[in-house]
């Protein structure tokens, strides 16, 4: 079963990935990045969840240089999070280079721990429009890391082709839906659980939960079909 590193924010997606990983690997190590993000409380939430769920270890890394370089509503508190897209058709919450940096550091950590799997909750099916959540990016990044470190490594994306309702179903499959709903921090305005109900992250999360609760059997069947 081996070792895995979970890129862990303490949000719905990464927590669901952690729950699944704990059933699949002998050791699951979490790594969380503090870049002085708008929703900075997520670092504390991630620390609490990793401990509660029984991760083997949890490393929090200071990557404040990202905040200095990348201008976004998640790195500048004077920029309100908006539902509108910018001129480049990207959300103003997109942090350029964030996942490039995170996956690079997580992979270095995997090398150090002799782990061959880095798990991330990115998703192309039902996401916020971030280019660094696409499958093509993950595959390209994976190839570059393997070549650059000469280390067998897989960036695993369990949620890549799931919609948000199916992600809730996955948490429920492990009997953790209520835990994920009540304890995770997805909200860009730093509110645990249901969140602010106004930012794009809260909107996407709640719509997915409503869809799942309205038709559990159908959504669970769709999840199981995708898992075959």
List binding-site positions for ATP.
8-18
Residue pair 79/189 in contact by the 8 Å Cβ criterion:
no
CA angle 30, 33, 37 (to 5 degrees): 140
Q: How crowded is residue 72: how many other Cβ atoms within 10 Å of its Cβ?
A: 20
| Cα first-last separation, the chain | 19
Binding-site residues = 8-18, 187, 196, 199, 202
Can you spell out the DSSP letters for 178-194?
A: HHHHHH----TT---TT
Rounded Cα distance between 228 and 226, Å, is 6
Look-up of token digits 């602010």:
196
Mark the binding-site residues for Zn(2+), compressed into ranges. Answer: 187, 196, 199, 202
CB 11 within 8 A of CB 185: yes
- What's the number of CA atoms in the CB half-sphere (13 Å) around residue 204? 20
User: Which residues, 6+ apart, have CB-to-CB distance to 72 below 8 Å?
Assistant: 79, 92, 93, 94, 95, 96
Local structure of 84: helix, strand or coil: coil
């Amino acid at each position: 079963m081996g070792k895995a590193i979970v890129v862990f924010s303490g949000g719905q997606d990464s927590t669901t990935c952690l729950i699944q990983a704990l059933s699949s690997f002998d050791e699951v190590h979490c790594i969380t990045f503090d870049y002085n993000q708008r929703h900075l409380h997520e670092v504390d939430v991630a620390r609490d969840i990793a401990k509660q769920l029984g991760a083997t270890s949890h490393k929090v890394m200071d990557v404040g240089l990202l905040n200095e370089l990348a201008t976004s509503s998640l790195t500048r508190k004077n920029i309100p999070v908006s539902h509108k897209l910018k001129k480049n058709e990207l959300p103003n919450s997109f942090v350029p280079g964030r996942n490039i940096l995170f996956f690079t550091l997580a992979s270095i950590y995997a090398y150090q721990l002799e782990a061959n799997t880095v798990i991330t909750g990115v998703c192309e099916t039902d996401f916020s429009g971030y280019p660094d959540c696409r499958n093509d990016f993950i595959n390209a990044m994976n190839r570059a890391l393997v070549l650059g470190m000469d280390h067998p490594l897989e960036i695993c994306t369990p949620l890549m082709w799931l919609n948000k309702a199916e992600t809730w179903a996955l948490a429920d499959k492990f009997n953790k839906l209520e835990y994920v709903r009540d304890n995770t921090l997805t909200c860009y305005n730093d509110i645990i659980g249901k969140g602010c109900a106004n930012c794009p992250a809260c909107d996407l999360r709640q719509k997915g939960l409503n869809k799942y609760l309205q038709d559990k059997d159908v959504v669970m069947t769709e999840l199981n079909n995708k898992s075959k």
